[in-house]
Structure 1
């Protein structure tokens, strides 16, 4: 072997040894000694949609409420059309009364100075389990009650006047809800919701993304019997969920795989699931339009790097044991910089529209897309504002 080959081999062995013991604890998974990376059954690369918004139309969005709200994940309007309401990083649900933001609800009974304002959405991660973290929000149009998927306190509800939310359920089949994420309500008051992981909490969402472990679930809460049942299990980061306009099915996002999946509630297929669409990236929330289509917020586009990492978990684990911080690893995962993509699908899974800001100049990230009166209201757990795009 040549000296160059010998040196390269020795360098690889030293690197492998370093990664094996991580002596300086600089890796993205240093605080997770039982971390494992799992294979993801990704769609063939040729099946990934290549459609793009070459005009980057989201760059025409208006940025509203800059630095007035931190990490607005979900955006809703009440049955009277007032709002928006949004859940923010410090554990509150806020209401825009037309002039200013006011407190509407909160999920933690143990709020303290730990939840006081901080400079960025990610500044709250350390104390989220104390302050609460409202994610998915939905109003019951009949009662005016607001249902909240709190990442730490489970499925909750607060009346039309707001205040401290009450817990509806925090476990299913004896397994605690550790990452309650999104929800929707049918006309009988049944609540369908996602629990993204039985292992990782939201404050460790990056490690969940890196791991792709499959303890996620889709669940149903029956308000009459107070029972919580598991509808779909063994999912890799299930996220957004939304009922179809006619209530015959709901769709939910498979985060690790990058798919939109349908669960039938009525008809001959009731209880069965099927793939509705393979997405151009990794999804967050999904919302149904008045016409019955679905807006999907794409956290980031797919890349060949993320595709290969998903297929080969041993290589992925090795990469995450390198002395590279979780933040940098996450930036590599999303393609190097934050960028927003939103896509609209028909109930049959046909791609209808795609809007993006591929450079992240204006809309750097998007967690949810709520369409109202010809405008798209877009929030994200990662930014201190709401972006509004005029479809006209």
Structure 2
């Protein structure tokens, strides 16, 4: 019997069948190859992110803020464009009517307020000046990421105050404020990573930050709080009973008690902030202003929760560079009890590192932009949702 009608018999594929299979095979190889390479790179990379505290990675409802301005850039003015390279923090001298700010080229510059804003060079620290505050005798105290805690006299002479605590040098001196008794409170954002490596501290997700104090009378530096996740901005409460400090990676601010029954203890001041907090400042009118480098984002929320996503982000950082994902930066105003009052932001705004209300204006510094911005709050207020 012939096999021509046998259903189990087979014949070699025709040339046309081979041609139809070839594009599919090529596409499969094209797609699979980079996936395989990525999987190999992931396995071989030694970067090993840790897990952030579970209470900060669980899903929460967005923070309710009674008043908002979500188009902040529509009313801002740029100050010192091209003359202020990364003006990170703001120190306001009310008597002199000037703002001090530290730039990425090491210069501390003075902005003379008035009808005509004038920018002048003052002192170059030779490092990267970040947080700063006016002292009690006309000096400027600066947290320099590279040089440590500095005292700069009114005539521009630089003196090192402290550069280490408990035998461990600061890698990233960051925020600073001064109490009425002269004691400085400041942060070392990371004792592992330097300023230019800050993204690795956040991606690694381990607590290398510290809150410290320095007494200029005894010249003693103390570690007050350890194991912080990128400790950042610092402000002494107006009643001098506590210090508020930010943990950027956890999107919260905590409170360290320096007086009273809770002295030496830490509690949560405000959490679930709608973005990553940088510096925090008191405006003298009953409100703290928290600068937000970027707003909330799904990717960052997932990265906070899953270390493997941060590892992938680290590999991308090393191989092709970091994509620009920051948006909705701005400023959050809260009252002295930590309750949100007003949120100023814009989807095209990012890398805001400091914010403070001076008169009718909100001034915002930036860790990366070549200018400072200000917004007239009377003309462009935050308003309640309709």
Gaps of 5+ in 2: 1-24, 379-386
**Aligned twin of 1:37:** 49
Conserved 8 A contact 2:80-2:119: no
1:10-59 Cα offsets, whole Å, 9 max, x none, are 7644421133447xxxxxxxxxxx63312112253224415583641343
* Alpha-carbon offset, residue 9 of structure 1: 7.5
Conserved 8 A contact 1:85-1:94: yes
Gaps of 5+ in 1: 23-33, 108-130
- Between 1:198-207 and 1:45-54, the stretch displaced more is 45-54
Conserved 8 A contact 1:86-1:93: yes
Q: Quick check: 1:149 aligned with 2:143?
A: yes
Conserved 8 A contact 1:104-1:161: no
Q: Quick check: 1:80 aligned with 2:95?
A: yes
Cα RMSD of the aligned pairs, angstroms, is 2.4
Q: Quick check: 1:383 aligned with 2:372?
A: no
Specify whether residues 261 and 58 from structure 1 end up closer, same or farther in structure 2 by C-alpha distance, changes over 3 A only. farther
Q: Quick check: 1:139 aligned with 2:151?
A: no
Conserved 8 A contact 1:20-1:321: no
**Aligned twin of 2:68:** 53
* Alpha-carbon offset, residue 213 of structure 1: 2.4
Q: Quick check: 1:203 aligned with 2:196?
A: yes
* Alpha-carbon offset, residue 191 of structure 1: 0.2
* Secondary structure of 1:367's aligned partner: strand
- Aligned partners of 1:48, 1:339: CA distance in 2, in Å? 14
Q: Quick check: 1:102 aligned with 2:120?
A: yes
* Secondary structure of 1:306's aligned partner: helix
- Aligned partners of 1:84, 1:210: CA distance in 2, in Å? 33
Conserved 8 A contact 2:57-2:304: no
Q: Quick check: 1:184 aligned with 2:177?
A: yes
Conserved 8 A contact 2:275-2:329: no
1:138-190 Cα offsets, whole Å, 9 max, x none, are 002x3111100000111110111223x11000000000011000100001110
Q: Quick check: 1:171 aligned with 2:153?
A: no
- Aligned partners of 1:281, 1:348: CA distance in 2, in Å? 19
* Secondary structure of 1:205's aligned partner: helix
TM-score, length-normalised on structure 1?
0.82
1:348 to 327, 337, 340: 337
* Secondary structure of 1:250's aligned partner: strand
Conserved 8 A contact 1:63-1:386: yes
- Aligned partners of 2:351, 2:33: CA distance in 1, in Å? 42
Q: Quick check: 1:261 aligned with 2:250?
A: no
- Aligned partners of 2:34, 2:130: CA distance in 1, in Å? 45
**Aligned twin of 1:214:** 207
- Aligned partners of 2:47, 2:141: CA distance in 1, in Å? 33
- Between 1:375-384 and 1:365-374, the stretch displaced more is 365-374
Query: How many pairs align?
Result: 346
1:225-272 Cα offsets, whole Å, 9 max, x none, are 111000111111010011111111111110110001111111111111
Conserved 8 A contact 1:79-1:139: no
Q: Quick check: 1:271 aligned with 2:257?
A: no
TM-score, length-normalised on structure 2?
0.83
Specify whether residues 54 and 184 from structure 1 end up closer, same or farther in structure 2 by C-alpha distance, changes over 3 A only. closer
Q: How does 1:305-320 map to 2 (within 5 A)?
A: 305-320=299-314
| Structure number, greater radius of gyration | 2
